[in-house]
Structure 1
Amino acid sequence: MSADLRKMPTGFVRLWSAQTISSLGDGVTHAALPLLALTLTRDPMALAVVTAAGTLPWLLFGVLGGALVDRWDRRHTMWVTDAARAVLLATAAAAAVFDVLSIPLLAAVAFLLGLGSLFFDTAATAYLPDLLGRNSALLERANSRLRGAQTAMSGFAGPPAGSALLALGRAVPLFADAVSFALSALLVRSLPAVPRPATQARESLLRQARAGAAYVFRDRLLLGLALRPAVGNIAFTAVGTVLALFAHDRLGISTYGFGLLLTAEATGGLLGAAIASPLGRRLGTGTALTCTAAIEGLAILGLAAAPNPYLAGLALAVCGAAMGATMVLAPSLRQAIVPAHLIGRVTSTSRMLAMCAAPLGAFLGGWLASTSDVRTPLYTAAGLLLTMTAITASMTSNRRVEAALRAATPADGPGQPESEDPVRQGVPELV
Structure 2
Amino acid sequence: MPGAFHRVWAAAAVSSLGDGVYGSALPLLALTVTRSPVVFGAMEAVTLLPWLLFGLIGGALVDRWDRRGTMVITDLCRFALLALATAAIAGGFVDIGVLIAIGFLLGVGSMLFDTASMALIPDLLDRDPDLLQMGNSRLQGAQRAADGFVGPPIGSLLFSLSRTVPFLADAVSFLFSSVMIRTLPARPRRPAETKTSILADARVGASYLLHHKLLLGLAIRPAVGNLAFCACGAVLALFAHVTLHLSPAGYGTFLTTNAIGGLAGTFASGWVGRRLGTGGALTATAFVEAAGLLMLGLSANVFIAGAAFVVLGGAMAVTMTLGWSVRQSIVPDELMGRVAAASRLTAFSAGPLGALLGGWLAHVAGLRAPFVAGAGVLVVMAFVAARLTGNSRIDAALAEAASTKAIDTAPVGPEPISTEPPVGTAAESPA
TM-score w.r.t. structure 1 length?
A: 0.84
Aligned partner of 2:245 in structure 1 is 254
The residue identity in structure 1 corresponding to 2:150 is: A
Change in 2 beyond 3 A, CA 1:197/1:165: farther
Instruction: Find out whether 1:212 has 2:220 as its counterpart.
Output: no
| Correspondence for 1:141 among 134, 141, 147 | 134
Q: Percent sequence identity over matched residues?
A: 52
Where in structure 1 are there 5+ consecutive unaligned residues?
1-7, 415-431
1:199 partner SS: coil
Go from structure 1 to structure 2 and tell me whether the alpha carbon gap of 1:382 and 1:98 turns closer, same or farther (over 3 Å shift).
Answer: closer
Q: Judge which range, 262-271 or 94-103, deviates more.
A: 94-103
1:278 is aligned to 271
Q: Distance in 2 between matches of 1:94 and 1:400?
A: 52
Alignment partners' CA distance in 2, 1:307 and 1:178:
36
Judging changes above 3 Å, is the alpha-carbon distance between structure 1 residues 176 and 245 closer, same or farther for their aligned structure 2 residues?
closer
Paired residues for 1:330-409 under 5 Å: 330-366=323-359, 368=361, 375-408=368-401, 409=404
- Is 1:223 aligned to 2:223, yes or no? no
CA contact (8 A) 1:134 1:411 kept: no
Mapped to 2, the partners of 1:91 and 1:288 lie a distance apart of 44
Q: Structure 1 residues 140-149 or 195-204, which shifts more? A: 195-204
Residue 311 and residue 16 in structure 1: after superposition, are their counterparts in 2 closer, same or farther (change >3 A)? same
Partner residue of 2:77 out of 81, 84, 98: 84
Alpha carbons of 1:64 and 1:294: their partners in 2 closer, same or farther (altered >3 Å)? same
Q: CA deviation at 1:79?
A: 1.0
Tell me the residue number matched to 2:420: none
Q: Which letter maps to 1:410?
A: K
The one-letter amino acid paired with 1:254 is H
Letter aligned with residue 59 of structure 2: G
- Cα–Cα, structure 1 residues 145 and 267, in superposed 2: closer, same or farther, change >3 Å? same
- In structure 2, the residue matched to 1:427 is none
Secondary structure of residue in 1 paired with 2:127: coil
Which structure's CA Rg is the greater one?
Answer: 2
Post-superposition Cα deviations, 1:224-251, rounded to whole Å, max 9, x if no partner, equal 11111111111223334565676678xx
Is 1:53–1:111's contact at 8 Å kept on the other side of the alignment? yes
Give the unaligned 5+ runs of structure 2: 410-431
1:381 & 1:283 partners in 2: Cα distance? Answer: 25
Aligned length: 404
Deviations 1:94-122 (A, max 9, x none): 44555555655444333222111111111
Deviating runs (4+, > 6 A) in structure 1? 45-48, 244-249, 411-414
Cα distance per residue 1:364-385 (max 9 Å; x no partner): 4455556667655434322221
1:300 aligned to which of 293, 305, 316:
293
- For 1:323 and 1:210, how far apart are their aligned partners in 2? 29
**Residue 16 (str. 1) matches residue 20 (str. 2):** no
Offset from partner CA, 1:58-87 (integer Å, 9 cap, x none): 221111111111111111111111122222
Partner-residue secondary structure (3-state), 2:205:
helix
| Superposition deviation, residue 177 in structure 1 | 2.2
> Which residue in the other structure is 1:424 paired with?
none
Assess if the C-alpha contact under 8 Å between 1:340 and 1:412 holds in 2.
Answer: no
Does the 8 Å CA contact 2:18/2:147 hold for their aligned counterparts?
yes
CA contact (8 A) 2:27 2:237 kept: no
Q: What's 2:112 paired with?
A: 119
Structure 2 Cα separation of the partners of residues 367 and 49 of structure 1: 10
Equivalence for 2:18: 25
Q: Is the 8 A contact 1:20 1:149 kept in 2?
A: yes
Q: Assess if the C-alpha contact under 8 Å between 1:296 and 1:323 holds in 2.
A: yes
- Pairwise CA RMSD: 3.0
1:132-173 Cα deviation digits (max 9, x unpaired): 000111111111111111111111222332333345544433
Q: Is 1:152 aligned with 2:145?
A: yes
CA contact (8 A) 2:262 2:316 kept: yes
CA distance in 2, matches of 1:90, 1:280: 42
Q: CA deviation at 1:128?
A: 0.1
Distance 1:258 1:31, change over 3 A: closer
Aligned equivalents of 1:121, 1:139: Cα separation in 2: 16
Residue aligning to 1:61: 54
The farther-off stretch of 323-332 and 289-298 is 289-298
